[in-house]
Amino acid sequence: MVENVIQAQIFDLTGGLLCLDFANTVDDRTDVHPQELLNSYYDLVSWSEQAHVLTKHEAQRLLEKAARRPSEASKVLQQAVAIRETIFRIFKAVAEDASPEDEDLVSLSVAVADAQNHAQIVLKANGFIWDWAGNAGELDRMLWPVVRSAADFLTSDELDSVRVCASDSCNWLFLDTSKNHSRRWCNMKSCGNREKARRFYSRKKSSSTVS
């Protein structure tokens, strides 16, 4: 059994939607050196467990398989980052009232089609739900619900609620579910307060210069 000796980082899941939280696995996107949060397959599995895409048992099983197939796990990580960037570009364009690039829509469609190959309708006590069929140990299985989340949201009536954080360095995506649709920050405690402090000191410095 693979022991999780690496300390898992805690991911911020405040995007309001699975695909947006996945797109937000890069800190300070507009900086010269953005901070990549998915630096290994372990990080990808850790995010998936925290986002409730995988159970603890499923996560451990994938890590054990990845240890046996490191080359395959590395390719899945590259695939995950590519899908993440596609999702980010699409929804950033939507949030800015622009049209996503055709190439990105095609890429997402291909990923969704692959995911749907693993989808099945399952009968539950109170009705039917979508679930995932096939080998639960496939290393890319956490990507299936992510891309379907993106496709479902992109074709929903709630699409106009997606926003880009107003912080100059953030660029995280989130759902604006505020009553008057005026939310500006992905997280008020971090980006909101930081940006307000920056503007306060900027105004204070300007006032001192004028005096």
Q: From residue 211, how far is each of 40, 42, 83, 197, 205 by CA, in Å?
A: 52, 55, 52, 21, 10
Compute the distance between CA of residue 66 and CA of residue 103 in angstroms, rounded to an integer. 30
The Cα 51–Cα 66 span in angstroms is: 20
Per DSSP, the three-state class of 101 is coil
Sorted by where each starts, the structural domains of the chain and their CATH numbers stand as: 18-210 (1.10.3300.10)
Instruction: Fill in the DSSP letter of residue 191.
Output: I
Q: pLDDT digit string (tens) for 66-119? A: 999 999 999 999 999 999 999 999 999 999 999 999 999 999 999 999 999 988
Residue closest to 163 by CA, chosen among 192, 189, 202: 192
Q: Is the pLDDT of residue 13 over 60?
A: yes
Distance of CA 113 to the CA centre of its chain: 19
Candidates 34, 19, 44; CA nearest to 171 is 34
Beta bridge partners of 162: 175
Strand-strand pairing, 127-132 and 119-124: antiparallel
pLDDT for residue 200: 42
Determine which helix (DSSP H) or strand (DSSP E) holds 150, and give its type and residue range: helix 143-154
Per residue in 173-199, pLDDT (tens digit) is: 999 988 787 788 887 666 745 555 445
